[in-house]
Amino acid sequence: MQVALRTCTSAVKSGQGERMVTPENTMSLAGQHALEDMVEFEMHLVGQSQQTPWPMLARGTRKLYGAREPYCNPVEWSAVKELLVEGFIEATSGRTFVVSKSGYQFYERQMKPHSA
């Protein structure tokens, strides 16, 4: 069964991008979803032109089972650019981008669901 996934895009409310705001962080919802999917589903981005959404692919053949499906695939350039500028993803080849060490650290500190 194939699941149609939405493209991660920056949602707009009152002329500003929708953001989760904490004292340490301001990141668009699209950027958060892309980073979360890349970490939790062990995915990488395949670079495209700036006008084209970037597809995410599984990094290995192991199937990950979880409580949810990925938020979206492909990822809009604006979200990719945000992750690149913040240093949360890095190139491993000319067209392959993975979560960086700082991206994993950010995910652990700011985004990972915490058990109560």
In the structure, what pLDDT confidence band is assigned to residue 79 with cuts at 50, 70 and 90?
Answer: very high
What predicted TM-score, i.e. pTM, was given to this entire model? 0.74
How far, CA to CA in Å, does 101 sit from each of 66, 85, 86? 23, 14, 12
Q: Which residue has the higher pLDDT, 68 or 97?
A: 97
Give the mean pLDDT of 63-82. 81
The two three-digit tokens of residue 9, written as one number: 């895009």
Tell me 106's DSSP state.
H
- Residues 18-67 pLDDT 10s: 444 444 557 899 999 999 999 988 999 999 888 889 999 887 766 655 66
Spatial distance between the Cα atoms of 78 and 76, rounded to a whole number of angstroms: 5
